[in-house]
A and B are shown apart, each in its own frame.
Chain A
């Protein structure tokens, strides 16, 4: 018997599964795509994954473009509350040689279609969970943009439902599928920096605008549907589409926008994919006027139970792990280490190997076929988003927020606790 058998976790729950992977007794295999039966080009039409897309504006439209060019995917359904987006998307699918597609302004219709296997959710943030839930509860797998959630409460429910209905959900934190981020986290996890003391992050600046009078709702936009769960507020063009992210009703500013990318890497590197910090304090620079209300600049200081401190400031997006033996800095442009030769430090077979994905979409689609967990699950996305939301709550309240990552409750601060969830406008509910 292999000595490792005794420590094998052969009955891991989803949460314990993550812990197991982290505890080094579980090795993530490298299942390179070209090693599987699913590399693009081998698919018979009948084996293609049939997909629908909800939210096909800026970010979602980018995903749609990638999907229609794939041979292993067939897009048959489109949904957007902006009929212009919808018309453009239909044309794109048509030009790509796809058959006629079903299109709708109501995602519930798309989610209910029995011919769809998986759905891409590229909506504004306040729709991520509601649209995903509708798909999951109708037996679809989901690729959903980051940040996964609008509130902490949303994430727990979505993650539980993904498990309940045995679905695959990939959060679009695609930095996990980039070589340098994985390598950086792998080196940190294997102790190349010694004990980690601090992690420093930079987040880009937010945005402000002057007060603005209500504007006519454009005929192509179903504004009430766009608002969804959020309180009714008058329309102006810079409320919707890309700029929704500067208003707390729909998002959390750069804290959840870029924070969902970079804090995700912090959680990964520090082995907290199923957990989170125990205290977060912050001070933000908020717009002094106008309808935008998310921070322009951030200054957040968080602490994990093991004493590792995370400092989030305003600056270029970068994650820097600092340990007793050096540091590793990583961003989308590349990575640096001190000492420099850390970069070539080999991760040996008996060490911790992190889940390897070389392409976020490939990983999701492979998992749809193999029913394996993707690299950024609902639980991981929820925990990362929770960190982002705690940072925003701490900045809004300008004080230290204590968090219990096991019970997922704020400790001893009624005002902060009230900000972990929001009432939803009917008919929307979790």
Chain B
């Protein structure tokens, strides 16, 4: 138990750290169930008591002795002598004729971690014994014990076991990579069953090295035997292991397997090996495979393209135009991550292909290999290509890499056709090109509407606060333009303010423009001011909300109504009562209730706001307040909601709110003083609600309340 207190503190600290994020944490249901089971308190045993009880352990008994010993064995710092002592005690259980089978199995698990040579005789005895479970338990320990004696015990078992036990022993020797066992394993295959032969072939592959290759080469199976593929798979594994250190030994293995009419996955792996050992000369093989109708070979070729030496890779890229269209698509996709001129040339060469899928694959490939020279072609496709090509070409333009790309795009924009200007403006925006603002501002005054719109949208990514005066000029000219353009301009102006740190000066320039603006422009400026926000913006909006001009008033109230700034709440409540138009009253009221529903507020603050809202709520809006109060779920909220049960028009909404409040209150401990009012409200719901679900919920809540 040492350090547990320290650990508890750490857990607590972690919990605190993550509290602000706990609301975001929603583990997938099928990955995590919060219902972590608890184990009944069990007696703590001393280590001596645990050792005493271990020999008698049977599955179903308490595991406290086992866990106590496991902790001592694994989780404790030990000297070599202490480790040897623990291992000896474990070994003694194996030697104890009265120890249960379950205790022995458990001991073997621990010996896998700390066993030493002294336990090997007992483990060997288990391995060679007749009990299948204990035999495996013995091997479970021996396989993980690194000593030569453990290895020798496994080797010795080769001639003393058969069937599944022998297969397991062979597998363990394979895992140990025991070169000295290769001959014995091969011998064990003679007259063995299918399982042992498979295990032996696999183990020889796992051991690897030239001796394994020689052994595998000598193994003869009838051509139609399924073991041929197993032997080939092992040879491939060995050859792959030799690739780095001795490729000349690996190469013939691959070739021989291919020559032996290998099929399917084996053939693909062998072909891959031949390519890998052929180096720079591999390109013709890969090109041939890509040209073939053999899907398996094509798959193999696709699997090696990324591994080809540079020269071979370029040769394949240069051959793309001569490949079948399906292969062209595959190769372009494979080469999408490479910045190689040959890929660029090949992609440009097929942009006029009749096959749309080829063109799209080439456009994608240019996203990495494209350079300044590809801008014209990409722009043309993005502006005038097919519906599927356009977004791909646009995306590629936006992702071209290099220090000169932005400047080249700007140059193109200045002399391009209208559709192309729109494409280039969008690309510059999405590239966040810092030097593009000037040309985009110019394009925002273009004669073509689609160019203006694209430029304005792009400016939202690049414009800075010092560009706001220019944008306001554009705004003054856009008042009678398409509504979408005006709204985009407003959003872009707001974005320009927010893109920089000096928002004050930018806001001031908007406020100055606001002073003398005509109503239509003023309405637009108010929307901008509102989106920027802050005390000055709020003051301007509140003042405008009382303007004599209805256009100005309407814009101000609508802007205030969507504000998320709590500071405008009093103004909204006032407007909810005193605005001239009924529509504005409702809008202001809804805006106020939305602010009251802000989950960042304390419940007491929200309650206060709802309390202020209820007396002035238009009849149609009271349901909104009741719903919000339900979400608070407190006795004070109940007090506000309960009277509405008497209101025939509001009864059902009040009933629903009361049930929600009750559920939230009942999730914790309900204070004595709150029980009776809650009970009364729930009974009332039961009595008067016409909604069966509400009545049932009320009855359930009453039952929980007791």
Q: Shortest distance in angstroms between B556's beta carbon and chain A's nearest beta carbon?
A: 28
Tell me if B24 and A334 are in contact (CB < 8 A): yes
Cβ-defined contact, A418 with B330, below 8 A: no
Chain A positions 331-345 with a Cβ under 8 Å from a chain B Cβ: 331-336
Tell me, in angstroms, the Cα distance from A288 to B304 when the chains sit together: 51
- Tier of interface size on chain B: 35 or more
Question: Whole-angstrom distance between the alpha carbons of A233 and B405 in the complex?
Answer: 65
A318, B21: Cβ atoms closer than 8 Å = yes
Q: Are A316 and B27 in contact (CB under 8 A)?
A: yes
Neighbouring B residues of A426 by C-beta, 8 Å: 136, 164-165, 167-168, 171, 195, 199
Whether A194 sits at the interface, judged by CB under 8 Å, is: no
Task: Select A11's contact among B144, B313, B371, beta carbons within 8 Å.
Answer: B313
Question: Is B7 touching A370 in the complex (CB atoms < 8 A)?
Answer: no
Which residues on the B side are within 8 Å of A331 (C-beta)? 21, 24-26
A429 within 8 A of B: yes
Q: How far is the CB of A105 from chain B (nearest CB, A)?
A: 19
User: B497: shortest Cβ distance to chain A, in Å?
Assistant: 13
Q: Does B653 contact A (CB under 8 A)?
A: no
- A59, closest chain B residue (CB): B30
Interface size (A, Cβ < 8 Å)? 118
Beta-carbon nearest neighbor of A313 in chain B: B14
For A165, what are the chain B residues with a Cβ–Cβ distance below 8 Å? 265, 268-269
Known: A209-B37, A313-B10, A427-B167. A32 touches B395 (CB 8 A): yes
B:1-55 near A, CB below 8 Å: 3-4, 7, 10-11, 13-15, 17-18, 20-28, 30-40, 42
Chain A residues near B40 (CB-CB < 8 A)? 210, 289
**A37-B329, A231-B136, A427-B195 as given contacts; A332 in contact with B26, CB under 8 Å:** yes
A64 to chain B, nearest CB (A): 13
Q: Is A406 an interface residue (CB 8 A)?
A: no
Q: Is the interface of B mostly helix, strand, loop or mixed?
A: helix
Tell whether A254 is near chain B: CB-to-CB under 8 Å.
Answer: yes
Within 8 A of B (CB), among A3-48: 3-5, 8-14, 17, 21, 25-32, 34-37
B-side contacts of A138, CB under 8 Å: 264-265
Stretch from A82-90, A184-192, A270-278, A346-354 forming part of the interface with B = A346-354
B572-590: contact bitstring with A at CB < 8 Å (1 yes, 0 no)? Answer: 0000000000000000000
Check if B136 sits within 8 Å of A349, measured CB to CB. no
Q: Which of B37, B264, B461 contacts A208 (CB 8 A)?
A: B37
A70 within 8 A of B: no
CB distance from A16 to the nearest CB of B (A): 9
Number of residue pairs spanning A and B whose beta carbons lie under 8 angstroms apart? 334
- A205 to B34 CA separation, bound complex (whole angstroms): 7
Establish whether residues B392 and A35, one from each chain, have CB atoms under 8 Å apart when the complex forms: yes
Identify which of B233, B265, B304, B357 gathers the most chain A CB atoms within 10 Å of its CB.
B265
Which of B144, B307, B402, B432 touches A14 (beta carbons < 8 Å)?
A: B307
Q: Which of B56-64, B544-552, B666-674, B675-683 contacts A (4 or more CB under 8 A)?
A: B56-64
Please tell me if the beta carbons of A4 and B402 are within 8 angstroms of each other in the complex: yes
Contact across chains for B309 and A11 when beta carbons are under 8 A apart:
yes
Q: Does B272 contact A (CB under 8 A)?
A: yes
- Contact (Cβ within 8 A) B144 A10: no
Whether A257 lies near B336 (C-beta < 8 A) is: no
Chain B residue with minimal CB distance to A233? B59
Comparing A96-104, A380-388, A393-401, the segment that makes contact with chain B is: A393-401
**Chain A residues in 8 Å Cβ range of B77:** 399
Taking a contact as CB atoms under 8 Å apart, the answer to whether A13 and B307 are in contact is yes
- Please tell me if the beta carbons of B11 and A313 are within 8 angstroms of each other in the complex: yes
CA distance A35 to B35 in the complex (A): 44
Type the 1/0 row for B160-186, where 1 means its CB is closer than 8 Å to any CB of A. Answer: 000011011001101100000000000
Which residues of chain A from 391 to 421 have any CB-CB distance to chain B below 8 Å in the complex? 396-399, 414-415, 417-419, 421
Chain A contacts to B: CB under 8 angstroms: 1-5, 8-14, 17, 21, 25-32, 34-37, 58-59, 62, 114, 136-139, 153, 160, 163-167, 200, 202, 204-214, 231-234, 242, 254, 257-258, 261, 283, 285-293, 296-297, 299, 311, 313-318, 320, 329, 331-336, 346, 348-350, 353, 370-373, 396-399, 414-415, 417-419, 421-427, 429-430
Q: Which 4 pairs between the two chains have the least Cβ-Cβ distance?
A: A166-B303, A316-B25, A313-B14, A333-B24
Further pairs besides A29-B368, A346-B461, A418-B146: 5, Cβ < 8 Å: A232-B133, A233-B59, A336-B21, A426-B171, A429-B203
8 contacts between A and B (CB under 8 A): A8-B339, A11-B309, A12-B307, A28-B337, A288-B39, A288-B67, A320-B21, A426-B171
